[in-house]
Amino acid sequence: MTTRRTFLRSAGLAGAATLATPAIVKAQAPIKWRFQTYAGAALGEHVTKPVIDYINAAANGEMEVELFYADQIVPTGELFQALQRGTIDGVHSDDDSMASPTPLRQFGGYFPFATKHILDVPVLFNQYGLADIWRSEYEKVGVSWISAAGQDPCNFNTKKEITSVADLDGLRLYTFPTAGRFLSKFGVVSVSIPYEDAEVAVQTGELDGMSWSGITEDYTVGWAGVTDYFLTNNISGAWIGSWFVNQRQWADLPDHLKQLVMAATEAGHTYRNQWYWGGEARLRATGDQLALRTVPAGEWAEVEDAAKEFWTEVAQEGEIQQKVVGIFREYNSVINQAGPPYTNG
């Protein structure tokens, strides 16, 4: 009996000691990503940083994403290669600017007249099948495409006044590769320089302006301060941009963090929708730096008709190109029949 009591007393003390001494769990080091956007710091504050801030705030220390702006790690034209080899882990860019080695390259950014408004982009991806095409094509080249969204239209902010299509002839503009290819039909000279150099290039006379954005960005990044006119006609109603992740990094990310990244990305899309939509209207109505100009709709139809020919040229380049152009045609047919507010008139 004495032996039994001694055993129980000893066992009780041992048990109490076990309960009183908490297990020491070593915290796992956070997953760290380096993320680069096509946008400079002033623009990136609105188009990319909200997503990164959301991830870092909600990840509970499990994940940390460091954001870099245009050209800070690699030039924008090398973003895709850097993403493939893991120099950076994530990218926010259009396919065109980052020199995507896929048939989708020219459809990112501003494919002429593919969209009329910012919400056309998520509709095209989520309801008309572009998401499946993008996901599949990037899987083939070792990159995970995770989402796309619209941004602002592609208007013109220039030193010279534009009141007719003929005024485009000879203009040296900072623009996207495919937009430049299209605008060359009207005599525009597309100038390729680093994003942060565009403002100075206008001041030195190297550029006559930009065909790169809507009026919200012109004011946000300082371009309204170095140009005089804003052309309300555009060559595309919304920029098409995407979020990409290194394929291995995405595969290794735990499912709950994948869901967090997707939630942050979608929240960023929502913010951008209202920021651009409201900004375009407010700054056209109240902005005091850029004088508004408009080419009459009947004359601008010449540019729109040229875009239809451009679509036909691109569709002949391959099966994927034909499929994407076919989707653009289908969607435009629907919204043209729907009328306002889906179309402009």
Task: Yes or no: say if 95 and 114 are a contact pair by the CB < 8 Å rule.
Answer: no
Q: Are residues 143 and 162 in the same domain?
A: no
| Per-residue model confidence (pLDDT) at position 259 | 98
Mapping DSSP to helix (H, G, I), strand (E, B) and coil, where does residue 190 land?
A: strand
Task: Yes or no: say if 190 and 208 are a contact pair by the CB < 8 Å rule.
Answer: no
Question: Residue 169: which domain range?
Answer: 156-236+289-338
Half-sphere exposure in the Cβ direction for 85 (13 Å, CA): 6
Q: Are residues 120 and 242 in the same domain?
A: yes
**Rounded to whole angstroms, how far apart are CA atoms 289 and 293?**
13
25 in any annotated domain = no
15 in any annotated domain = no
Task: Yes or no: say if 114 and 240 are a contact pair by the CB < 8 Å rule.
Answer: yes
Q: Are residues 66 and 87 in the same domain?
A: yes
Cα 76 to chain centroid distance, Å, stands at: 12
**Rounded to whole angstroms, how far apart are CA atoms 345 and 252?**
49
Residue 215 parent element (H or E): helix 215-221
Q: In the sheet where 90-93 sits, what is the strand order?
A: 63-68, 31-37, 90-93, 240-246, 143-150
Torsions phi, psi for 152 (to 5 deg): -85, 165
345 in any annotated domain = no
Task: Yes or no: say if 62 and 257 are a contact pair by the CB < 8 Å rule.
Answer: yes
Q: Are residues 249 and 307 in the same domain?
A: no
**Rounded to whole angstroms, how far apart are CA atoms 255 and 252?**
9
Q: Are residues 265 and 175 in the same domain?
A: no
In the structure encoding, which two tokens stand for residue 23, read together?
A: 């297990």
Task: Yes or no: say if 324 and 134 are a contact pair by the CB < 8 Å rule.
Answer: no
Tokens 């998520």 found at? 122
203 in any annotated domain = yes
Which residue stretches of 28-176 are H helix? Answer: 41-47, 49-58, 79-85, 120-126, 130-139
Residues 114-139: tens digit of each pLDDT: 999 999 999 999 999 999 999 999 99
Q: Are residues 246 and 132 in the same domain?
A: yes
In the structure encoding, which two tokens stand for residue 71, read together?
A: 């050209």
Torsions phi, psi for 156 (to 5 deg): -130, 130
Tell me the sheet residues that pair with 37: 92
CATH number reported for the structural domain that contains residue 97 in this entry: 3.40.190.170
| Per-residue model confidence (pLDDT) at position 7 | 43
Q: Are residues 148 and 72 in the same domain?
A: yes
122 in any annotated domain = yes
Tokens 């995405």 found at? 250
Q: Are residues 190 and 260 in the same domain?
A: no
| Per-residue model confidence (pLDDT) at position 345 | 54
Domain boundary, last residue among 270, 286, 302: 286
Q: Are residues 136 and 85 in the same domain?
A: yes
Residues 254-265: tens digit of each pLDDT: 999 999 999 999
Q: Are residues 148 and 170 in the same domain?
A: no
137 in any annotated domain = yes
224 in any annotated domain = yes
Contacts of 176 (CB under 8 A, 6+ apart): 94, 96, 97, 109, 110, 154, 212
Number of domains in the chain: 2
19 in any annotated domain = no
**Rounded to whole angstroms, how far apart are CA atoms 211 and 209?**
7
Q: Are residues 174 and 72 in the same domain?
A: no
Phi-psi map region of 86: left, alpha, beta (phi>0 left; psi -120 to 50 alpha) = left
Q: Are residues 164 and 267 in the same domain?
A: no
pLDDT tens, N- to C-terminus, the chain (345 residues)? 445 444 444 544 444 444 444 444 445 899 999 999 999 999 999 999 999 999 999 999 999 999 999 999 999 999 999 999 999 999 999 999 999 999 999 999 999 999 999 999 999 999 999 999 999 999 999 999 999 999 999 999 999 999 999 999 999 999 999 999 999 999 999 999 999 999 999 999 999 999 999 999 999 999 999 999 999 999 999 999 999 999 999 999 999 999 999 999 999 999 999 999 999 999 999 999 999 999 999 999 999 999 999 999 999 999 999 999 999 999 999 999 999 999 875
pTM: 0.90
